[in-house]
Structures are given as structure tokens and as C-alpha cells.
Amino acid sequence: MQTRIREVRKAKRLTLAEVAQRCDPPTTAQTIGRLEVGLRTVSVDWLNRIAGALGVDASDLVRVDERPDVPVAALLTASGAEAPNRPMVLTPPRPASDMLGLRVDVSQGDYRAGDDLWLQRLPPERFSEAEHRDALAAQGVGGFAFGRVLSATPSAVTILPLTPGGKPVTLADPGWIAVAVRVVRTL
């Protein structure tokens, strides 16, 4: 099995030692290095441990022929567009099972008409993670509130709409909250 462990680790700017320490339980940098280059067999257990350490899904660490990677032609730096020092690829995003979508019909805040937002649902015990982020919250049957979350607990969420002059809205016992994690914009 061909893995992308090294590519993902380098894209996240982590050393072998940092990944090794983040594994549960921790391991050695040498072991991570051997797994990266194929000197040691990568089991499903190792894939899951390393994925957890890198904060990605285990499937993101495996090369899949039907999921094309996009080669990186250049990096946009403070000096302008420059060639990368080593080959790099972009992996097309894959939705997780807890993802929802929001299509922007009218520009608001940082979002333009035509943008698609990928939202990750949070369980009530994690609602506080939505604070100071843009999120969509369920409000009754078929109703929603979207904007910057000012405060969030399992029993109440306060959202500031992105429209100019919008007043904060407090939702009691929201059914769910989903935070914006990705914007897909066609240029």
C-alpha cells in the first residue's frame, strides 16, 4: 500500500518527532520515518494512530487512484509566485459524514454570491468551539440563523448576522450548530 504520510506531515509542517509524540500512545521518530518510506508495514492501526496525530482522516494518508491529486505549480509568497522546493500536491477535499453545505445566494460579510460553504456539525457538548467562528444554527423547524457566533452553550447560542446593522440573535436550545470549515469559490 502506498501512503501519503510524508506529504501530509510536511504539508502540516511537522517533524517526525512531533508526529511521534502526538501519536496515542507516543512512538519514536524513527518508527514514523520507517512507516513513511515503506521500510515498515503500515497496518490499519498505524494508519489510524498517525491520522489522529496529524489531525486528518486515515483515508487521507492512502493513495487512491480514483482520487486525483492536483500538482502544485507554484507557491504564492511575500515575494510573489515561486516554484516549490520539492514536488507538492493538493488533495481534493472529501466530505466527512458530519458535514453540511450552505450555498450563498447573496453576498454577505466575507462570502460572495455563488460561494459554497462546507460546515461541520458539532454535538451540543462542543458548541463552545463555535464561538468567534461563522456558523449555521438550527432554529425550530426549517429555520436557521447564520453568522458569527458570539457565545454558545448546549442550551443557548447567540449569533451576529453578517448583514450590515444586523442585531445579535439568541437561539434557545438549538437543534444543532455547524461551523464553516471550507469555502469553495468559483473564480
Domain boundary among 90, 115, 146: 90
172 shares its domain with 103? yes
71 shares its domain with 110? no
Which 3 state secondary structure label does DSSP give 5?
helix
pTM for this prediction: 0.60
Q: Are strands 134-139 and 70-71 parallel, antiparallel or unpaired?
A: unpaired
Please give the pLDDT value at position 82.
92
150 shares its domain with 106? yes
Q: How many domains does the chain have?
A: 2
Q: What is the pLDDT of residues 77-101, one digit of tens each?
A: 999 999 988 888 877 777 777 889 9
104 shares its domain with 178? yes
Tell me, what CATH number does 105's domain have? 2.10.109
Tell me, what CATH number does 71's domain have? 1.10.260.40
What is the span of the domain harbouring residue 15? Answer: 5-75+83-90
Q: Could you say which DSSP state residue 62 is in?
A: B
